Structure 1
Amino acid sequence: MTSKIPVIAQCTVTNSLQLGGLMVEELTVYLARNKDLVFPHRHNFYHFILFTEGSGRHSIDFEQFEIEPWQFYFMSPGQIHTWDFGDDVAGFVVNFDRDFFKTFLLRPEYVHNFSFFSGLVKDEVFVLEESERAAVLHIFARLLNNVDDLDFARVSLLYLFHVLEKQRHLPKAQDKNLYNHTLLRNFIDLIEVNYSALRLPKEYAALLYITPNHLNALSKEFLGFSAGELIRDRVVLEAKRLLVIHDYAVSEIAYELNFNDNSYFTKFFKKATGLTPDEFRRSMDITQK
């Protein structure tokens, strides 16, 4: 089954003068060039925006957010995005390729340690604290003026990520216990690869060489969800993504997601969302017009 939700490559949205896998731009300029990009789509690159002013809304993986001044949102490759921005929006936008840090960091996956690159929507949208706003604006101004110096840009982005992570006041235990954080990161990565085949926390715990109770405790302590909820939510998310592709029958989606039959998939989906698959599909018809 091939997704028909368009995947947007960075070359289609980026100013051609900005090369090297990075784009940094004022939001008004970016939106003027990409004013038609309001339909549901995915990116094959990392993308984030800071709104300094404006109104409207946007959604990431079907969760909607109202724009407010000093709001950041982050998106990882593969997430579904729509937006409806007012004419008054201003701010900054940054796109960078998956391999942008590959030759710069000994461990390029280091960026996944930042909470806003977790792939969990609840971590990806937040408001910048007033005490950090002047410093963050200074970082963006320097990025705009030095975007062709890729090493400078990489250092500046990493510094920005650390500033943002620090202001989020995450539990100190998460910062101190690198082992547990690594376990959770690996758990999330394993879900991403295996969600259609492996549905039980004990199956993931075995792959991580820990007990199911340990995995569940870590998940609840640091992420606020049980291990089972994280697995279920990823399956539901993929079901939603496939349901907005109207060419696919519900039975085809059930088969793609490894459910034994259509009725079991429908019960699973309704228990998680309160809607049947067909009801969800109809609701998306309304919200996307």
Structure 2
Amino acid sequence: MIDRIKTYELPGSTILQDFQIYEVKGGEIANKRYPHKTDRPHRHSYYEVCLFMNEAGKHEIDFNTYPILSNSVHFLSPGQVHRIFRDKDYHGYLIVFSSEFFPLGTSRQENPLFYFPFFNNPTMLPVLDLDGQAFDEILLLVRQMKKESDLEQQSTSEILRAYLQLLLLKCKRHYMWKFAEKQHIGTSYFAHVQQFNMLVEKKFMEHLLIQDYAEMMGISPAILNRAVKKIIGKTAAEIIVDRLILQAKRLLIYTDLSNKEIAFSLNYADPSYFTRTFKKKTGKSPSQFKKELNEKYQY
């Protein structure tokens, strides 16, 4: 299989193997330590937080386009395909880190980054727009992180780890405030949906039934469906299918697999059923979708 989309790893350094921070001005990233060029859609094996200080471009994330607005933060998880289009007056910061770098805590066996609503969660918006005061608070933390990162002295990793945890918790608070009224973040419903999304992200290829997810969560299928419908506005089954379709889109555009091979790789026993499901969800056949996106990216 030819993979047309590159997956980039963190380059690391003598002290900071799993964390980097970059200040970016203008349309191109001039820092030699940056792990990759960004003129093509790509993905990472690590997490990325993009801090945008001014309105200067657009950001494509998994086939959705978001304008780059002043005082905004965008979040990327491993495996997400994205590309940033920067205007000449662009100014922002990029923070990249591995899941191993983030504090793991003492009681949770799962990756704690799954408990931030803007990570590892295709159903939630990966964008946080802030007012000036809130953004200035976040920006101050980021600049302190940049200063500490440039020092690369003893205890730098521990200090940056503490800063990163504080930064993400601050962003989570603002995110919850922004979406609480609309999506009841902080309720038991939202907690169920977070856990469900985490399980879907790990197990969507297995085509499990709603009953299977509910059993893993220790709740009834009715409660699970009610929570998902309340928070996301879709059924739990729709969320599972949506995740499969996202994976299909990635494979259609970024590999040379045929429609039939993609269907089988996603554990669809009947390729024609996969095609019907894809068209029902996107309004296009897999071949039509691939043709249009290939023309867009000039593959």
Q: Verify same fold: TM over 0.5.
A: yes
2:198 is the alignment partner of 1:189 = yes
Residue 45 of structure 1 aligns with which residue?
Answer: 46
The offset of 1:273, in angstroms, is 0.5
CA distance in 1, matches of 2:82, 2:123: 11
SS in 2 for 1:260: coil
Q: Distance in 1 between matches of 2:249 and 2:185?
A: 31
Contact 2:224 2:236 in 1 (8 A): yes
CA deviations on 1:200-232 (whole Å, 9 max, x unpaired) are: 322322332322111111112233432112101
1:1-289 correspondence to structure 2 within 5 Å:
3-11=3-11, 16=13, 19-28=16-25, 31-33=29-31, 36-102=37-103, 105-106=105-106, 107=108, 109-120=111-122, 122-147=124-149, 148=152, 149-168=156-175, 169=177, 170-171=179-180, 174-175=185-186, 177=188, 181-289=190-298
1:40 Cα offset (Å): 2.0
RMSD (Å) for aligned C-alpha atoms: 2.4
Supply the distance in 1 between the matched residues of 2:79 and 2:214 (Cα, whole angstroms): 25
Look up the SS of the partner of 2:101 in the other structure. coil
Give the letter aligned to residue 167 of structure 2.
L
Q: Residues 287 and 56 of structure 1: is their aligned pair in 2 closer, same or farther, counting only changes over 3 Å? A: farther
Instruction: Tell me whether 268-277 or 106-115 shows the greater mean CA deviation.
Output: 106-115
Change (3 A) 1:49 1:18: farther
Say if 1:10 and 1:45, in contact at 8 Å, map to a contact too: yes
Q: Is the 8 A contact 2:72 2:135 kept in 1?
A: no
Q: Against the structure 1 CA distance between its residues 22 and 205, is the aligned structure 2 distance closer, same or farther, given a 3 Å change threshold? A: same
Compare 210-219 and 153-162 and name the one that shifted more. 153-162
Moved over 4 A (4+): 1-4
Aligned length: 283
Q: 1:141 to 1:39 in 2, by over 3 A?
A: same
Greater mean deviation of Cα atoms: 28-37 or 277-286: 28-37
Instruction: Deviation per CA, 1:23-78: give whole Å up to 9, x if none.
Output: 11202388224683221211000011111024222211111112111221111111
8 A contact 2:4–2:255 mirrored in 1: no
Amino acid in structure 1 at the alignment position of 2:253: V
Residues 17 and 89 (structure 1), Cα distance of their counterparts in 2 relative to 1, 3 Å cut: farther
Calculate the TM-score normalised by the size of structure 2: 0.85
Q: Once the two structures are superposed, what CA deviation does each residue of 1:57-101 show, in whole Å capped at 9, x if it has no partner?
A: 221111111211122111111111122222221011100012002
Rounded to whole Å, the distance in 2 between the matches of 1:266 and 1:198 is 16
8 Å Cα contact 2:46-2:77 kept in structure 1: yes
1:36 and 1:54 map into 2 onto residues whose CA distance is 22
Whole-Å separation in 2 of the counterparts to 1:287 and 1:151: 43
Q: Is the 8 A contact 1:75 1:124 kept in 2?
A: yes
Q: Quick check: 1:75–1:119 contact (8 Å CA) kept in 2?
A: no
CA distance in 1, matches of 2:91, 2:74: 14
Report if the CA contact (8 A) 2:252-2:286 is conserved. yes
Change (3 A) 1:121 1:17: farther
Identity of aligned residues (%): 29
Give CA-to-partner distance per residue, 1:163-209, whole Å, 9 cap, x none. Answer: 222223143854254xx555433322321232222253223223323
How far apart are 1:282 and its partner, in Å? 1.1
Residues 122 and 243, structure 2, Cα contact 8 Å, conserved in 1: no
Q: Which runs of 5+ in 1 are unaligned?
A: none
In structure 2, relative to structure 1, the CA distance for the partners of 1:83 and 1:187 (3 Å cut) is: same
**Could you list the runs of 5+ residues in structure 2 that have no partner in the other structure?**
none
User: Deviation at 1:18?
Assistant: 6.5
TM-score of the aligned structures, taking structure 1 as reference length: 0.88
